[in-house]
C-alpha cells in the first residue's frame, strides 16, 4: 500500500479524499478489488488518451505533408479504433472476471439496514427479507446509525428504504449499493481489518442528505456476538426523572426505548443510545451536551431533519432527558 499512499499524498494532499472515509485505503475485500480496478481503468484510459492524442499530434504537427490519405486512414483505424477497442475490451474482461468472486454468498451474520430520511435503521439477526414499508418492524434486534460486523466473515447487508432512494456506502469496505423503496438489495461486507469506518448516504435524498452518515465498527467474532446480545437486552435505567420527561413530552411517539413504555418506531431506537459513537446519523459524538443540544434545536444542527425542536422546554428538563438517554449503554 506504500506506493498508493505515496501517490495519494502527492495527488490528493489537499482534497477531501483522505481520512477515515477514503476509498484509497481499503480495509475490505470488495474495496480492495474496486481500488485495483480503479488503477487498471486509469492506466487503460491513460494509455488510450496517450495513443490517440499522440497520433493526432503526429498526424497534424510532426509532418502532415509526408502522409498520404491512405496512411492517415491507417492511423485512424489502427490507432484510433483498433487500439481503443482492444484496451476497452481488456478492461471489460477484467471487470467481469471480478464479479463471481464478489458475488460469493455470505458466511456471516445478516444485518438489515433501512435508509430513511435522514438516518439508518439497523436490525441484527433478521431472517428472510426485512419489511420494506415504513414502520413495518424489520424484526431482529433493532439499532440505528451504527453497524457492528465481525472481522473475517462475510456479513450480508439487506438494504431497503420506506421513502426515497438512498445509497449505502462505506468506501473503505465496499462499493456503494442503493437502498430502494419496495425492494431489498444485498451487499456483502468482508472486512480485512478491525476498526471504525465512516459510511455515508451516496444518493441525494433530500435536505439533510449530506448529514446522513453512519459508522461501521469491525470487531472480533466474539465481540460481535456479545454486542448483539447486549443490544437485545432492554434498557438498564428505567426509573429516572429523564424518562418521565421523555414520556410526558411525547418523545415516545417516535422513539423506542425497550423496557419502558416508549415504543414509537418512526425514529431511531434509543434503547442503547450511549453504546453508539454518534447521534443524529453520524453527526455528533454521543455526549450528554450534544444530545441536549439536538433535542433543543435539531433543525439548527441538521437542517431538514424530521424531528421537531423541543427548545420550548426549560433547559433543566432537556438536560435531564439528555442525562437519561446518555446513560443508556
Ligand atoms: Cu439518504 Cu442521501
Q: Which residues pair with residue 159 across a beta bridge? A: 113, 185
Measuring CA to CA, which residue among 184, 217, 167 is closest to residue 112? 184
User: Ligand 1 in contact with 200 (CB < 6 A)?
Assistant: no
Q: Do domains 110-232 and 241-326 have the same CATH topology?
A: yes
CATH of domain 241-326: 2.60.40.420
Which pairing describes strands 213-219 and 146-150: parallel, antiparallel, or unpaired? parallel
Comparing 10 with 308, which gets the higher pLDDT? 308
| Residue-level pLDDT at 12 | 42
Q: Which atom of ligand 1 is nearest to the CA of 179?
A: 1
| Residue-level pLDDT at 84 | 86
101: pLDDT confidence band, cut at 50, 70 and 90? confident
62: pLDDT confidence band, cut at 50, 70 and 90? confident
How far apart are alpha carbons 238 and 261 in whole angstroms? 10
Q: Which residues pair with residue 200 across a beta bridge? A: 169, 213
| Residue-level pLDDT at 239 | 80
CATH of domain 110-232: 2.60.40.420
How far apart are alpha carbons 321 and 242 in whole angstroms? 4
Helical packing angle, 288-296 and 315-326, nearest 10°? 130
Q: Which residues pair with residue 285 across a beta bridge? A: 278
For the ranges 135-139, 276-280, 290-294, which has the lowest average pLDDT?
A: 135-139
User: Ligand 1 in contact with 116 (CB < 6 A)?
Assistant: no
User: Ligand 1 in contact with 121 (CB < 6 A)?
Assistant: no
Q: Is the pLDDT of residue 19 over 60?
A: no
Measuring CA to CA, which residue among 207, 214, 211, 222 is closest to residue 159? 214
Ligand 1 centroid – CA 242 distance (Å):
32
Mean pLDDT along residues 146-154: 95
| Residue-level pLDDT at 64 | 65
173-193 pLDDT, tens digit per residue, is: 999 999 999 888 889 999 999
306-320 pLDDT, tens digit per residue, is: 999 999 999 999 999
Measuring CA to CA, which residue among 203, 198, 199, 210 is closest to residue 161? 203
| Residue-level pLDDT at 286 | 93
Mean pLDDT along residues 61-73: 72
N- to C-terminal Cα separation, the chain: 37
Contact between residue 203 and residue 59 where contact means Cβ atoms under 8 Å apart: no
For the chain, the structural domain boundaries read 18-102, 110-232, 241-326
Q: Is the pLDDT of residue 268 over 60?
A: yes
229: pLDDT confidence band, cut at 50, 70 and 90? very high
| Residue-level pLDDT at 10 | 42
Per-residue cell: 288? 450528554
Comparing 169 with 21, which gets the higher pLDDT? 169
Q: Is the pLDDT of residue 1 over 80?
A: no
For the ranges 57-71, 91-105, 185-199, 285-299, which has the lowest average pLDDT?
A: 57-71
Ligand 1 centroid – CA 303 distance (Å):
13
63: pLDDT confidence band, cut at 50, 70 and 90? low
Burial of 216-243, coded b for 16+ CB within 10 Å and e otherwise, reads bbbbeeeebeebbeebbeebebeeeebb
How far apart are alpha carbons 257 and 236 in whole angstroms? 10
Q: Which atom of ligand 1 is nearest to the CA of 212?
A: 1
The C-alpha cell 414502520 sits at 135
Q: Is the pLDDT of residue 119 over 60?
A: yes
Q: Which atom of ligand 1 is nearest to the CA of 202?
A: 2
Measuring CA to CA, which residue among 244, 245, 284, 247 is closest to residue 264? 247
Q: Whose CA is nearest to atom 1 of ligand 1?
A: 166
Which pairing describes strands 155-160 and 185-189: parallel, antiparallel, or unpaired? antiparallel
Q: Which atom of ligand 1 is nearest to the CA of 118?
A: 1
For the ranges 102-106, 225-229, 311-315, 317-321, which has the lowest average pLDDT?
A: 102-106
Amino acid at each position: 500500500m506504500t506506493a498508493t499512499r505515496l501517490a495519494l499524498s502527492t495527488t490528493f494532499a489537499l482534497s477531501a479524499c483522505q481520512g477515515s472515509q477514503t476509498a484509497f485505503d481499503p480495509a475490505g475485500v470488495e474495496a480492495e478489488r474496486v481500488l485495483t480496478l480503479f488503477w487498471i481503468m486509469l492506466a487503460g484510459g491513460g494509455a488510450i488518451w496517450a495513443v490517440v492524442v499522440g497520433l493526432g499530434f503526429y498526424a497534424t504537427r510532426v509532418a502532415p505533408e509526408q502522409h498520404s490519405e491512405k496512411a492517415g486512414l491507417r492511423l485512424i483505424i489502427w490507432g484510433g479504433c483498433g487500439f481503443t477497442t482492444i484496451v476497452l475490451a481488456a478492461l471489460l474482461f477484467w471487470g467481469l472476471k471480478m464479479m463471481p468472486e464478489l458475488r460469493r454468498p455470505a458466511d456471516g451474520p445478516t444485518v438489515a439496514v433501512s435508509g430513511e430520511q435522514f438516518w439508518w435503521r439497523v436490525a441484527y439477526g433478521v431472517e428472510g427479507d426485512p419489511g420494506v414499508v415504513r414502520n413495518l418492524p424489520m424484526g431482529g434486534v433493532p439499532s440505528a446509525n451504527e453497524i457492528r460486523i465481525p472481522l473475517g466473515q462475510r456479513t450480508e447487508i439487506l438494504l431497503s428504504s420506506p421513502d426515497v432512494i438512498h445509497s449505502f456506502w462505506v468506501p473503505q469496505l465496499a462499493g456503494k449499493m442503493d437502498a430502494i423503496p419496495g425492494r431489498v438489495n444485498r451487499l456483502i461486507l468482508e472486512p480485512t481489518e478491525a476498526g471504525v469506518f465512516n459510511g455515508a448516504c451516496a444518493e441525494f435524498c433530500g435536505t439533510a442528505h449530506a448529514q446522513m452518515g453512519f459508522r461501521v465498527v469491525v470487531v472480533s467474532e466474539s465481540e460481535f456476538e456479545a454486542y448483539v446480545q447486549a443490544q437485545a437486552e432492554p434498557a438498564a435505567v428505567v426509573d429516572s426523572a429523564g424518562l418521565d420527561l421523555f414520556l410526558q413530552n411525547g418523545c415516545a411517539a417516535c422513539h423506542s426505548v425497550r423496557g419502558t413504555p416508549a415504543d414509537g418506531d418512526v425514529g431511531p431506537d434509543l434503547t442503547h443510545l450511549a453504546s453508539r459513537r454518534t447521534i443524529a446519523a453520524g453527526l455528533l459524538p454521543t455526549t450528554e451536551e450534544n444530545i441536549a443540544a439536538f433535542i433543543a434545536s435539531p433543525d439548527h444542527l441538521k437542517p431538514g431533519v424530521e424531528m421537531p425542536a423541543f427548545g420550548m422546554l426549560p433547559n433543566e428538563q432537556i438536560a435531564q432527558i439528555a442525562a437519561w438517554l446518555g446513560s443508556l449503554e
